[in-house]
Copies of this chain bind each other. A is one copy, B any other.
Amino acid sequence: MLENIELSKKMNKDEYKKVMPGLTIELAALQREATQFGIPVMIVFEGWDAAGKGTLINRLIMPLDPRGFKVHPTSAPNEEERHRPFLWRFWTKIPAKGRLAIFDRSWYGRVLVERVDKLIGKDEVRSSIRDINSFERMLNDDGYLVIKLFLHISKETQKKRFEKLENNSSTKWKVNKDDWRHHKQYGKYYRAASEMLDATDTASAGWVVVEAEDEEYAVKKVYDTVIGALKKRIAEIHAHEKKKARAPEIILDRVTGSALDRVDLTVVLDKAGYETRVKKCQKRVRELEHEIYAKRIPVIVMYEGWDAAGKGGNIRRLTQNMDPRGYEVFPIAAPSSVELAHHYLWRFWNSIPKAGHIGIFDRTWYGRVLVERIEGFSPEPVWKRAFREINEAELHLAEFGTVLIKFWLHISPEEQLARFEERQNTVHKQWKITEEDWRNREKWDKYKEAVDETIYRTSTEYAPWTILEANCKYHARIKALETFIETVEKAVERR
């Protein structure tokens, strides 16, 4: 994309002074409209050092209502960030509906600086580009407007600007050895940037190259681009084209067989058998917790299952002997208003464990294709899309080295009824049962179909489902512990 860019483009200063006041008023009005329509906007500034990112961002935000935007300066990942997949720090920073986030450098650092500096290999470049495209597609599908600007200057201009900064005592500190090293590698960066722009110029989020040698020209182009993109999105919403344009029909293959029907729910483990094994398993879990920590392996354990299948008790046995500093349990309730205002994966990204730690989810992002599907909280194209989104998110985690363990706690409808009745009839258990549980129970068959489809579509090599036969709680607990042990042991050996 950089080949045919004419860097000599300039804008007449008088002309600039004439048009800008109108553009700033227009942009301010569009920001208010975007807020009103609940459009979340992300604007990415990438480009050469000294291309003027700071100045251009400053010009862009001037007319904006400060209550509605946030600038995110991005430098090399810090320790907290290096302990998570590279998109983590951006997933957690996506704006809420109606808000605007400006990224001064972004997730593209991964495939530019880290690539040229050989911090990541060829395979990682490829998978990172795939992850980036998937990230932006998910955002766009959810209604996010992603605007990407690449500020382009020549090697000569960069040199002149560095020298100018160096000759001024108050800006001298802004140019360091790394900058000059990067400058010498301009050619390498140029090739990496070209490739990156081509590989990530997608329908969900296309690139705009901004000729940034002339400040006025660049400011005007940034304004035109952002104003144009906002107007287009707002027009789409007005014309109700949005849905049609951004939610194409998703065709999925037919689900074959029922994983749940194949489960043998008669398996039983007696109390004595349980008690001899549980302590041993828990001891091993604690040892593995230490090994995970020493080897910096992140682990995610996801619990899904029928109401009253025993998720809480199962999690308790898994964590009973663990060091509380090494794990955290995340109970996933109905989303809060803040969570609803973001992409549905956002709240899970906010809880991703860092390398060496264990995150245990009591209910998970599979809520999208289970409760949200059955209760109609998400329309069909939305939950259908989620299978791919979840698989991609799990792949991103797995390629970072995350161990993913997914449990479905399976019981029969008869067993559920017995447990519901027992809860209702036991004083200190009554708080555990609600009207909603009874209502969900009536939709057993619908849920079963959704669970079967979920297991079929999201049992991947890197994140397989394990069904726990949970009519017998003892059996389900030991199987969960043993699955954890076996899976983590393998991961520890591989390191």
Knowing A170-B287, A290-B173, A331-B66, the reply to whether A58 touches B336 (Cβ < 8 A) is no
CB of A337 within 8 Å of the partner chain: yes
In the complex, the chain B residue whose C-beta lies closest to that of A173 is: B294
A324 on the B face (CB < 8 A): yes
A227 close to chain B: CB less than 8 A: no
Whether B173 contacts A331 by the Cβ 8 Å rule is no
Task: Establish whether residues B58 and A322, one from each chain, have CB atoms under 8 Å apart when the complex forms.
Answer: yes
C-alpha spacing A263/B106, complex, angstroms: 48
Question: Is the beta-carbon distance between B324 and A71 smaller than 8 angstroms?
Answer: yes
Give A357's nearest chain B residue, CB to CB.
B73
A276 at the interface (CB under 8 A from B): no
Question: Do A428 and B62 touch (CB < 8 A)?
Answer: no
Which of A266-274, A313-321, A373-381 forms contacts with chain B?
A313-321
**What number of A residues sit within 8 Å (CB to CB) of B?**
45
Which residues of chain B come closer than 8 Å to A58, judged between CB atoms? Answer: 320-324
Interface contact A54-B316, CB-CB below 8 Å:
no
Per-residue contact bits, chain A 275-295, to B (CB 8 Å; 1 contact, 0 not):
000000000000100110010
Closest CB-CB distance, A304 to chain B, in whole Å? 16
A333 vs B35: C-alpha distance when bound (angstroms): 15
Contacts known (A80-B78, A324-B58); A333 close to B290, Cβ less than 8 A: no
Residue interface bits A104-128, CB-to-B below 8 A is 1, else 0: 1000000000000000000000000
- Chain B residue numbers with a CB within 8 Å of A30 are none
Partner of A316, one of B62, B320, B321, B325: B62
Q: Which residues of B contact A170 (CB under 8 A)?
A: 287, 290-291
Distance in angstroms from A320 CB to nearest chain B CB is 7
Tell me the bound Cα distance from A174 to B320 in angstroms.
20
Residues of B within 8 A of A66 (CB): 312, 315, 329, 331, 362
* Residues of B close to A291: CB separation below 8 A: 170
A93 at the interface (CB under 8 A from B): no
A67 at the B interface (CB under 8 A): yes
- Chain B proximity of A328: nearest CB distance (Å): 7
Tell me whether B80 and A324 are in contact (CB under 8 A). Answer: no
Q: How far apart are the CA atoms of A338 and B338 in the complex, in Å?
A: 9
B residues less than 8 Å from A324 (CB atoms): 54, 57-58, 61, 71, 73, 102, 104
Residues A346-370 near B (CB distance < 8 A): 362
Chain B residue contacts of A54, Cβ below 8 A: 323-325
- CB proximity of A346 to chain B, nearest CB, Å: 15
A283 to chain B, nearest CB (A): 10
Answer yes or no: A261 CB below 8 A from chain B CBs: no
Is the beta-carbon distance between A71 and B322 smaller than 8 angstroms? no
Q: What separation, in Å, do the CA atoms of A287 and B171 have in the docked complex?
A: 8
Q: Is A25 an interface residue (CB 8 A)?
A: yes
**Assembled-state Cα–Cα distance A125/B325 (Å):** 28
Q: A290-B173, A294-B173 are in contact. Are A62 and B320 (CB under 8 A)?
A: yes
A336:B333 contact, CB within 8 angstroms? no
Task: Give bound CA distance, A329 to B102, whole Å.
Answer: 14
Of B32, B171, B328, B362, the residue contacting A71 (CB under 8 A) is B328
Rounded to whole Å, the gap between the CB of A348 and the closest CB of chain B is 16
57-88 of chain A: CB within 8 A of chain B:
57-58, 61-62, 66-67, 70-71, 73, 78-80
Residues of chain B within 8 A of A287, CB atoms compared: 170
Q: Is A29's CB within 8 Å of the partner chain B?
A: yes
Q: How far is the CB of A387 from chain B (nearest CB, A)?
A: 27
- Taking the closest CB of chain B, its distance from the CB of A364, in whole angstroms, is 14
Known: A66-B331, A80-B80, A362-B66. A325 touches B428 (CB 8 A): no
- Chain B contacts of A104 at CB under 8 A? 324-325
Contacts A66-B315, A71-B325 supplied; 11 other A-B pairs, CB < 8 Å:
A25-B428, A57-B324, A58-B321, A58-B323, A62-B316, A67-B333, A71-B328, A104-B324, A170-B290, A336-B338, A337-B337
User: What are 21 A-B pairs at a CB distance below 8 A?
Assistant: A54-B323, A54-B324, A57-B324, A58-B321, A58-B323, A62-B316, A66-B315, A66-B331, A67-B331, A67-B362, A70-B328, A71-B324, A71-B328, A73-B325, A79-B79, A102-B324, A104-B324, A170-B291, A173-B290, A174-B290, A338-B338
